[in-house]
Amino acid sequence: MHVERYRSAVSADNVPVQIGNYRLGKTLGIGAFGKVKLAEHVITRHKVAIKILNRNKIRALDMGEKVRREINILKLCTHPHIIRLYEVIDTPSDIFVVMEYVSGGELFDYIVSKGRLPREEAQSLFQQIVSGLEYCHHHGIVHRDLKPENLLLDENNSIKIADFGLSNMMRDGEFLRTSCGSPNYAAPEVISGSLYAGPEVDVWSCGVILYALLCGSLPFDDESIPNLFKKIKSGMYSLPSHLNPLTRDLIPKMLVVDPMKRITMNETRAHQWFMQGLPQYLQLPPNMIEQMERVIDDEVVSAVVNAGFAGATRKKVLQAINTREGGRSDLRVAYELFLDSKKNKQRLLEKAVARQQNITTPLFAHTPTQAPSGSGSGPSGLAHQLVDPSQLQRLQPTLQQPPSPTSREQADKKRRRWYLGIQSKKDPGHVMNEVYRALGFLTCEWKTVTSYRIKCRWRPNFHLVFPSPGSGTGDFFASFRGENAPLRQRQHPDYTIIIALSLYKVQQHIYLLDFQKIEGDCFTFMALCAKIISQLKTLSAQSKQMQLAGVGQMGSPPHSVSAQNLHTQHLLKPQAQLHPDLQRVPNQMHAQAMAHQQQQMQAARMQVQYTPQGPSQGVHPGIPGIPQLIPPYNQADQGSHANPTSPRPPNSDNSGMQNP
């Protein structure tokens, strides 16, 4: 129904406005796009908050994408400490977003009224915040605006993470750059305008919030914004003496200026202080929390059937629950309202039990999780990870004993960090130059995105049909779609796979070359990665041999082999072994290609000036289809380019790399 009818009814008859099954009440707040009103479900009698967004204001401020993204993110989240989105009602003039009603107000007001919180209360709130954020990161969501004003408290003083207006989705191989959020809670890389992956900026904000909970003040605060930014970038703050040793250990690890050395969310969860008094439901990893939230509750289903909805049956309720975008939304919303009310009481009891028992080690096996990989749901998958309650008393003495420093040090020594890609300690310009050379030898075509990120395409069947001299490259990304392409298309001479190569800085003077599949099937992608790695190793070995030959030539007799002759032998003789695809090229064209490569290398030794970024599409000028060698990196122009992107890949927790 059109909302104008309800407005006219209010002014004429002075009766409450009703939207769908919700009767609107008092105004809770006013925002840039509209109001937030308290409402009551007319059948279940549960209270909800309805955010009314005016379409004209959204269009005038050009915020349509921001609103759409926030709604889509909230639809993804099913976590006890993330504010719940029940449904969205569209009208021609307004958008009604029906959300969970949180009656306790903002955490900011709570801290202002009480000052610094007791350790147990601050610990409980912090555990809830971290659990909700870990769930967001599991689904590729980074909040970017964490602060006490966006953390709400319900009637039981439980946290609800809200306001995802500045949030964004993380994508593999891509970084975020937007400087957003409140300055007092923003990470140094955010206020500096640097690239960042996402989770590391939320970790910093959590560190500031933990400091505020325990100290009643902010670690970084100044009336002057430039001075505030200086303090944040330098990491200048002081820890009060009343903090216990464990919190004095955790906070500095979260407020590390260098995102490469900052503690990750998984490491925060594993910290000894975090594990103290951790409720049972928060000991679950994100995917299991979601599964537990989606387990069908028969008692709640019966309550919905008996609530008084027209034509409501058990079958229709189950159908509405399982099909969120279809079926009867009124039955699904009623089920979620009943279920949330029931589980809030259960979680309150679990928190009280955990506080009494003061469990310091999780009862559930919790390991870093990958992105969701299937539809499996229900409690059956949890059976092997649950601890029998009858065994709790027997296990408790063992659980309460923290590992000794000696055993912890031994475990750290045995632990190895896994990386996906190739590590190198060489200069980043030299690494990229070697990458260009390897792509040239493998007959790849490439496109420079940035100084340290390139996209390239490769035709695995290129040797079957060699391009005619008159053929051009065409559209760079016009190719068959690999994952859905039939086998006959994958065997076609024009079948193409597209990958991205990015150079990251993982440690001081250590760089990582990362491979990302953009188009094509996985097996061909892995084959190309293996070829590039093999070629890079071959080029590295050749470079070492040439260096040794150059050193030996300084004291060698006149009849010894010169470096130039040695290089010619490396260039011509092993070429057929290094590039089996080129063995099928006609001899004359192969000889032309080798001669041109030799000329390029000779020109490099003469220190001819080249463009450092390389061509946008590396196509051989003399022989169509054969990529050219990219000239050596111009060290004179190195200062004009940004350093390799220091943040690690966005899903580096899953790949074994620490988050910044």
> Which amino acids are annotated catalytic?
145
Give the span between the Cα atoms of 304 and 319, in whole angstroms: 13
Beta-bridge mates of residue 458: 497
- In the chain, the N- to C-terminal Cα span, in Å, equals 49
Q: What is the DSSP letter of 160?
A: E
Task: Look at the block and give the residue holding tokens 């309720």.
Answer: 317
Q: Residue 20 is which amino acid?
A: G
Q: Residue 547 is which amino acid?
A: Q
Enumerate residues 6+ apart whose C-beta is below 8 A from 604.
631, 632
b/e code 145-154 from CB counts within 10 Å (16+ = b): bbbbebbbbb
Tokens representing 235? Answer: 């990491």
Give the span between the Cα atoms of 600 and 598, in whole angstroms: 5
Q: Residue 182 is which amino acid?
A: S
- Minimal CA–CA distance to 328: which of 339, 314, 341, 342? 314
Tokens representing 421? Answer: 């890609």
Are 459 and 493 contacting, i.e. CB atoms less than 8 angstroms apart? yes
Strand 22-30 and strand 34-41: the pairing is: antiparallel
Kindly give the residue spans of alpha helices, DSSP state H, lying in 146-235.
188-191, 199-215, 225-234
Cα dihedral across residues 51, 52, 55, 59: positive or negative: negative
DSSP states along 48-109: EEEEEEEHHHHHHTT-HHHHHHHHHHHHH---TTBPPEEEEEE-SSEEEEEEE---S-BHHH
DSSP 3-state of 46:
coil
- Minimal CA–CA distance to 445: which of 626, 630, 618? 618
- Minimal CA–CA distance to 503: which of 437, 430, 432, 569? 432
